[in-house]
Amino acid sequence: MHIRLRSILEELGYCQDALSFATTIADARRLIEEQPFAMAFIDVGLPDGNGIDLIEFLHGRDPALPILVISAWSDEHIIMRALRSGATGYLLKERDDIEIKLSIRSVLRGGAPIDPFVARHILSTFGSSAAAASGGVPASAPQSVLTPREVEILNLVSKGLTNKEIAAIVSLSRFTVECHVRNIYKKLAVRSRTEAIFEARARGFLP
């Protein structure tokens, strides 16, 4: 995968000297200690451990670091663990190069790309859980937790826009948008843009 990813990144304009690759968690930790990185791509299955441990390590060092998982693993439990550990987005390796390029651009713009198969699978799981909790009765209209303004902002977040871009669209200051985003996190009991989008879709706030 690293040969394919190197080619994709070079096509996006990154020079070889700006790219570093590691095949194990140990090698990755060594590279991280030697130099800072602007973005990380991680596979879940690594020879010496679980890539989620590396995600937790990276997120703990720098919570703002964009981390995109590109993996063959499509297990819902693994995916949710990765997202809750700090992954910004999650893609399956089967996606073509164009889709991966678009996802990388989205992450760099502050977005949280999720593989369509992954999104459908997790949302269907949420739906099944909600139906079971209500005795099999389909859920009615979502509980009114988010304000219309918060829903508007979260919808823009789901499109991959940054807080600065959102502020320009809704005619608010960047600080006000950041406050709205923090309130959304608190109300939905999440810690990242990715989790907020998933939770909002599961509750019916976003399509």
Q: What is the dihedral of CA 166, 171, 176, 182, to 10 degrees?
A: -30
Q: Please check whether residue 88 lies inside any domain of the structure.
A: yes
Number of domains in the chain: 2
* Domain presence at residue 106: yes
Domain boundary pick from 121, 153, 178? 121
- Per-residue model confidence (pLDDT) at position 56: 92
CATH number, domain containing residue 175: 1.10.10.10
Note whether residue 9 is domain-resident. yes
Close Cβ partners of 201 (under 8 Å, ≥ 6 residues apart): 119, 123, 126, 207
**CATH number (domain holding residue 85):** 3.40.50.2300
In this structure, the answer to whether residues 14 and 96 fall within a common structural domain is yes
Helices 97-108/2-11 angle, 10° precision: 60
The answer to whether residue 158 is domain-embedded is yes
Same domain, 79 and 169: no
Phi, psi of 97 (to 5 degrees): -60, -35
Do 89 and 149 belong together in one domain? no
Contacting residues for 174 by C-beta, under 8 A, at least 6 apart: 163, 164, 167
Q: Let me know whether 115 and 58 are in one domain.
A: yes
The pLDDT value given to residue 122: 63
The pLDDT of residue 140: 42
My answer on whether 25 and 106 are in the same domain is yes
Do residue 64 and residue 107 come from a single domain? yes
Same domain for 117 and 51:
yes
Predicted pLDDT at 139: 44
Report, as ranges of residue numbers, the positions in the chain whose pLDDT lies below 50: 129-134, 136-143
Q: Indicate if 111 and 20 belong to the same structural domain.
A: yes
Q: In this structure, are 102 and 181 located in the same domain?
A: no
* pLDDT per position as a tens digit, 122-150: 666 555 544 444 454 444 444 457 888 88
Structure confidence at residue 76 (pLDDT): 78
Residues 50 and 107 reside in one and the same domain: yes
Q: Which domain holds residue 49?
A: 2-121
Would residue 135 count as lying in a domain? Answer: no
| 134 is a domain residue | no
Q: Which of 70, 93, 121 is the last residue of a domain?
A: 121
Tell me if 22 is assigned to some domain.
yes
| pLDDT score recorded for residue 20 | 92
The model scores a pTM over 0.75: no
Do 98 and 159 fall into the same domain?
no
Q: Look at residue 131 and tell me if it is in a domain.
A: no
